[in-house]
Each structure stands twice: as structure tokens, then as C-alpha cells.
Chains A and B, each alone.
Chain A
């Protein structure tokens, strides 16, 4: 199959075949990072702009390394102010970046739909690096890549996603991607952190961690953000850890082969114990490594789609 999209905004709009194409492409790029000279010329002469309206180190660095390993030039723009009242509008910023004859914008924004708005207004490619609570497609892709490598297959596999589902773009992208690939997904959180109608996306909902982990081949532990000014956030950190924290004792009652994932940064002792994070089941650092390949694949495919159009 041929990739035709100029943008990657989310996994919701992708077909199973498109997701598989990204995963296959990512696997082929993994080798680049293992070489002595970690560079291929696939994006030589292209300019990638990381436009980040939210503080993020890991995603931004991962995209930067991915682009550089493809030989693209990379510019980073960080904006503290994303408010529409301060300074330039998102669309104006995007238009200016496009006028600089760049090729790809990688955008992180606190508003859901920000990447979609940019993509609608621009001819250059837009890659969503996380928009509000909406989607974080490359995170889900690297999660799925890691799952596939570790478990050897995806069809029929069972994954539990634990944490603040309501406010998580990682959860949404994972749900779309995993369900399309035939993975059985269970989401687990206190009731107040489960968004309306989530079961309509084809996931099982439970409020009991033991129940969520019972048959799981993998658990994806979401970062809990107690510091956020969100009136419906879970009130108490200790209470959360007691009921939903991933600990060695809890994992002892799950499958022996269960793998533990986390999109980072870790809140040790909040959603995951240090023992588990650093333990044998943890694939957290593999995820980080796979992030480069997944992002290289996405950068490569959208760039190719543009070249094919011309």
C-alpha cells in the first residue's frame, strides 16, 4: 500500500493498513540507530519545524533525533504563550513557518484540534505531537511497535490502559490504534477519570485494577497529573496509588509474562512503583528507543506523500 496523507493528525482516521504500514516502515528504520553512522539521506534538504506550545523534552528531542537521522534540518520553536490573546494566532504562526519554505511542522499544543486547524490551513505537512486531550499518535505508534516486538503479534492480545483516561491523549490514540489492530483493550481508572461513552470505542471499562490486569498481556500506565488545575482530577495521590498504582504485589497476581509500559515522565510512587518501573517487566526504555523509529517512519511517509504529489 502507498501512504497518501500529507499529515498525521491522529490514529482515529487511519485504516488498519495505514497503521501497519507505519509500523513496518518503523521496523525498517530501527536499524539506522544501531549503525556506527546513524544517518540516512531520506529527508536530505527538507526542513522540519518542531512547534511546541507546551513544555516537552522527550517528545521534542525524539522528533529532533528522528528528523536528524533522516538528514533533515530541524528548527525548534517553543512558545510559552498559547493563548489566542497574546501575540500571533496559531494559523498565522503556521503560515509564517510555511512561508519560510519548510516542509513539515511537528506541533504540540494544549488545545484539542490544534493540529487539525493547522493542517487545514497549510499545504505543508503537519504531524500531531499531542493536542490537548485529543490524540498523541506517535506515542501510540511507539507503544504498539514495542508491544508487537515483545509479544510477537497483536491480534488477540490483551492490553490494559490504567490511569486518567478522561484527560489523556495517549489513551485515546492507543485505543484507536490497538482496537483497529485487533487488540482487546481494557481501560481502568476511578470512575471520575473515565470519559463519557468510552465503551462505544470498543473498549472494556473497569474500575478495579486487579480485574484489569487479570488477563492482560501488557499494561500501559498513564502519567497522573495531580498538579494540573483540573477540577475533576483525582483528589488524592496516596489514595490513587493505593488503589490504582502498579506495584510488584499487584503484578504478582497478573500473567507472569506481562509487560509494563509508560509514556513518561514517570511519577515514581504515584502511578507506578520504582520496583516495577526498573524491574524485569518494564519496557519503558525500549519505548523511548522505539519512539525514534516510529517518528522516523511518520516523517518519512508524510514527506514521501508530498514528493509523490509534486
Chain B
């Protein structure tokens, strides 16, 4: 009965464990964590030399369903998630229709119930249709199981409206996630404003368009005494602003995506639209600031911002191509390659940013290996190299910014709710 994961290096930030231990899984829960467990089980996983950690909780994922099943579905997206070691995702609401009312939440829940292979949590919109004009019925959405709200893809322009949403979200116990971008400043930009936009003759997106909006959004949260989470932080100034606010005691958390701590605007020079993303890849100094922000724990969360797009929408003129990079299947390996192997983060710190922190921010009972908790566990070979290729992806879309790159770290086993749901080669 059950699964025994033997001899792995168990990393569990919640219990401050980093040790060679065995884990016994029984009836969807973690039953024991100890040295040298001897017991009869159905399945033994030899994890010697491997990392054993909670399944990744990715709080920024575009599953595209309903509406854009040509890009991704709940089924394909969660399958891709498992391959990347992600056992829980927060699904962003910018689908067609937008997840902005009880009816649409129920529709999505039905799809999830039928097709999801990992845990899918729902983020609804802040405003109806993500139009920035009318707040959604947050209390009713909460009762349907919505745990966060975001107009991701756009910022809520009207301050008084966001302020009211923050207050109501606080009352209901729902997290507000902000896509902080001042469109009046970013305009029709497609790459970071600077030498690269100049060389390529493309319209630039200034950092001001991001950090000034980050600053505004944080001020509104402070005014509302509400929590706020800043999505996809990409530049040095935003990190500074988040740090300052936290030092003042504002309840602000921030996330970044793997491409912001591993790639710069220089990648865009060949007009490869797989590097077109919003916010855009910034310069070397920003990349270093993001890494420093991660190291200092100003940025507490790594999330993929998995944004699948079809080749039809990507393989065209740069300025017409869609913004976005897929990430579910590469986020762990990019993190290992760029943060662990470079000694910017310890394993404990990385696992915290991938699992424990997002779980805490979303008030989920995930991201831990405590006895009695849901058995969402992954076993990772941290040193094995692999080359990213289109053929290897389980996501329906192939718009990865890491194609052709060699990364380290392969997810070998994924246990979700006590069942082995994915096994790597």
C-alpha cells in the first residue's frame, strides 16, 4: 500500500528540512517523513542523488481554455505542467469568454473537473470583460472558489475602481494580482526601449511604463490596507519600489518569470518573435537586479507566465506577433541552470519561491511536505542536462524562448494527490 520515495535529498522549506530522508505516501497524503522507513508498499522510488520537493505551485499560467483551444487547453496545459514539475497552477482569466462572472467560473470548473491532470485554481478578472469599467462580483466569485483576481494582460486604468476592488477583495479574502503597465507610456512598443529598439527600428517600451504603475498600484493597496501581488516584475526600478514598500510595511508580494532572470533584450536582435513578451526582456543591469531581488527575497515568487501562442500568431512580422513565452516545461530547469548552478539561490530558497511562497500568498494548503498534507511531490534529477526542442513539448504551443538551449534538471517523477501522474524518461 502506498508509495515510498527512498533516499532522496528532501527539501521542505515549511519544516526547514534539507536532508536525505524517505517519504511515505498513503491515501493521497504524506504519511511519514523519516530516515530509513521500512514498510511494504506498492511502489518504491529510488531517489538517491535526486531532489525531492513539493510540487511547484505556478501562480501565473494561461491555459487559454475556454476560447483558444488551438493554443492550449486545460488538458494539454496541465499535462505540460506535470512534465515541468508543476502540480498546481493558477489559471489566468483572459480567456474567451473572460472569467468574470459566476456562469463563466462554473464553465471553467466543469472543464477542470473533466480534463485537469494537475490542480487548477481559478483567478477571475478584476473588471467585467477586463474592460476596466465595472468591478466583478468578487464575493460571489469567491463563493464559487475563485482565490484571486487579476486583469492580467492589462492594468486597471481607473484608480478609484482599483481602490474599490482592493477593498472588496480584502473583505472577501481574495488576492489582487496586478499587471502593472501604463499603456499611455508603453503605447505600441514591442521591445525594451533602448539601444536594441534603436538598432532594430522597433518601438520601445520604457521601464517607466512598468515601474510607475507598480508604484501606483502599491500606493492604492496601502490606501486600501489590502494585500497586493505584482505580476512579472522585469526591471530594476520595480524591484526597488517593491523593497521600499515592504520596508514601510505594505503587504506587497512580487513575482518574476524565468526569462527575466536569464535573458536580455539582446536576444531580440534577430527578430525572433519567441523573445517578444510583455513586459519585454530588459537589459543586463535589470537582469542582475532581478537576480539580486530574488537573492534578497524582495521577489518571493517565481512563476512562468506561461503564455502559449500558435505559430500563426508568432511566425510573422515582429510588430504584429503576439506577446508571450511558454514556460511550464522549462521553469524549473531554467531556475536550476540560472539560479542554483550560479549559486544565486540555495535549493531551500529556490523551492520556497516555487512552492511555499506562492502557496502562502494564495492561502493554499500546498507547497509543503508536512505529514498529513496533500501528497504533491516531485523527484528531480538536478544535474542531468537536456536540450530544449519543439518536439519535446507537451504544451500545444511551442513558443519557448529557450529552444535549442541546454538546461539542467529533469523531472523524473510527479506525484499529485498521492498518485504517480507523470514519469520522465
Do A84 and B194 touch (CB < 8 A)? Answer: no
B193 touches A (CB below 8 Å): yes
Query: Known interface pairs A84-B316, A112-B201. Does A117 touch B271 (Cβ–Cβ under 8 Å)?
Result: yes
Name B316's contact: one of A117, A196, A198 (CB within 8 Å). Answer: A117
B139 touches A (CB below 8 Å): no
Within 8 A of A (CB), among B170-210: 187, 193-195, 197-202, 204
Q: In the bound complex, how far is the Cα of B319 from the Cα of A111, in angstroms?
A: 7
B347 touches A (CB below 8 Å): no
Query: Residue of A at shortest CB range from B204?
Result: A196
Number of residue pairs spanning A and B whose beta carbons lie under 8 angstroms apart: 66
Do A198 and B198 touch (CB < 8 A)? Answer: yes
Q: Is the interface of B mostly helix, strand, loop or mixed?
A: loop
B315 touches A (CB below 8 Å): yes
- Residue among A114, A197, A201 having the largest count of chain B Cβ atoms under 10 Å: A197
A183 touches B (CB below 8 Å): no
Query: Residue of B at shortest CB range from A121?
Result: B315
A residues contacting the other copy or chain, number (CB 8 A): 27
Name B317's contact: one of A111, A133, A195, A196 (CB within 8 Å). Answer: A111
A64 touches B (CB below 8 Å): no
- Map CB proximity to B onto A172-186 as digits: 1 under 8 Å, 0 otherwise: 100000000000000
Q: In the bound complex, how far is the Cα of B200 from the Cα of A169, in angstroms?
A: 9
Q: In the bound complex, how far is the Cα of B268 from the Cα of A134, in angstroms?
A: 13
B249 touches A (CB below 8 Å): no
Q: In the bound complex, how far is the Cα of B201 from the Cα of A201, in angstroms?
A: 13
- Map CB proximity to B onto A116-137 as digits: 1 under 8 Å, 0 otherwise: 1100000000000001111100
Do B201 and A135 touch (CB < 8 A)? Answer: yes
Query: Residue of A at shortest CB range from B191?
Result: A112
- Map CB proximity to B onto A194-234 as digits: 1 under 8 Å, 0 otherwise: 01111011000000000000000000000000000001000
- Please indicate the chain B residues that have their CB under 8 angstroms from the CB of A135 in the complex: 201
Query: Residue of A at shortest CB range from B316?
Result: A84
- Please indicate the chain A residues that have their CB under 8 angstroms from the CB of B204 in the complex: 196
A12 touches B (CB below 8 Å): yes
Q: In the bound complex, how far is the Cα of B386 from the Cα of A258, in angstroms?
A: 60
Name A84's contact: one of B195, B199, B320 (CB within 8 Å). Answer: B320
Query: Known interface pairs A90-B317, A91-B315. Does A197 touch B195 (Cβ–Cβ under 8 Å)?
Result: yes
Do B201 and A133 touch (CB < 8 A)? Answer: yes
Do A172 and B201 touch (CB < 8 A)? Answer: yes
Do B199 and A201 touch (CB < 8 A)? Answer: yes
User: What is the size category of the interface that chain B forms with chain A?
Assistant: 20 to 34
Do B195 and A196 touch (CB < 8 A)? Answer: yes
- Map CB proximity to A onto B255-296 as digits: 1 under 8 Å, 0 otherwise: 000000000000000110000000000000000000000000
Q: In the bound complex, how far is the Cα of B270 from the Cα of A195, in angstroms?
A: 19
Do A134 and B201 touch (CB < 8 A)? Answer: yes
Q: In the bound complex, how far is the Cα of B198 from the Cα of A134, in angstroms?
A: 8
Query: Known interface pairs A113-B271, A116-B270, A117-B271. Does A197 touch B319 (Cβ–Cβ under 8 Å)?
Result: no
Do A84 and B197 touch (CB < 8 A)? Answer: no
A89 touches B (CB below 8 Å): yes
Q: In the bound complex, how far is the Cα of B318 from the Cα of A132, in angstroms?
A: 11
Do B201 and A114 touch (CB < 8 A)? Answer: no
Q: In the bound complex, how far is the Cα of B319 from the Cα of A112, in angstroms?
A: 8
Query: Known interface pairs A84-B320, A114-B317, A134-B200. Does A200 touch B271 (Cβ–Cβ under 8 Å)?
Result: no
- Residue among B316, B317, B318, B320 having the largest count of chain A Cβ atoms under 10 Å: B317
Q: In the bound complex, how far is the Cα of B41 from the Cα of A290, in angstroms?
A: 83
Name A12's contact: one of B194, B195, B199 (CB within 8 Å). Answer: B199
Q: In the bound complex, how far is the Cα of B318 from the Cα of A84, in angstroms?
A: 11
Query: Known interface pairs A133-B201, A172-B199. Does A197 touch B194 (Cβ–Cβ under 8 Å)?
Result: yes
- The minimal Cβ–Cβ distance linking A110 to chain B, given in whole angstroms, is 9
Q: In the bound complex, how far is the Cα of B194 from the Cα of A200, in angstroms?
A: 10
List the interface of chain B (C-beta within 8 A of A): 187, 193-195, 197-202, 204, 270-271, 312, 315-320
A-B contact list, 12 entries, CB within 8 Å: A84-B316, A89-B316, A111-B318, A112-B202, A112-B271, A113-B201, A117-B316, A132-B202, A132-B319, A196-B194, A198-B198, A201-B198
List the interface of chain A (C-beta within 8 A of B): 12, 83-84, 89-91, 109, 111-114, 116-117, 131-135, 169, 172, 195-198, 200-201, 231
Interface contacts beyond A112-B318, A113-B317: sample of 5 additional A-B pairs, CB < 8 Å, sorted by A: A84-B316, A89-B312, A114-B317, A135-B201, A196-B198
**Nearest 8 interchain pairs by C-beta:** A133-B201, A134-B201, A113-B271, A197-B195, A111-B317, A112-B201, A195-B198, A113-B318
